[in-house]
């Protein structure tokens, strides 16, 4: 059985107002990742994702690229214990 994992990713840079959250939802849905993405008040974007660790690592790579108009400066990754609390992947406000 593949190892289930959970990660909190904080994306820094020019990542708000450029379709970043919608990009993250498309990537997550393509990979079968569950969780959410949201804008933070400081201009960063936060994503929490659960899936097999290998799949999450692919998701993180896509978050590092971002959509074409974004400029990702840094990505902070915090691995957490898998909880299995999400049904899908959506945008939170």
> Catalytic residues, which ones?
21, 39
Tokens, residue 36 = 């959410």
Instruction: Report the alpha-carbon distance of residue 71 to residue 64 in Å, rounded.
Output: 9
> 31 Cβ partners below 8 Å, 6+ apart?
51, 55, 58, 59
């Amino acid at each position: 059985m593949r190892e289930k994992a959970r990660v909190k990713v904080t994306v820094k840079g020019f990542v708000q107002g450029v379709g970043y959250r919608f990009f993250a939802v498309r990537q997550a849905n393509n990979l079968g990742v569950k969780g959410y993405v949201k804008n933070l008040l400081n201009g960063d974007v936060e994503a929490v994702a659960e899936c097999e660790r290998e799949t999450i690592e692919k998701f993180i790579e896509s978050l590092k690229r971002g959509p074409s108009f974004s400029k990702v400066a840094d990505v902070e990754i915090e691995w957490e214990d898998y909880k299995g609390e999400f049904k899908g992947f959506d945008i939170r406000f």
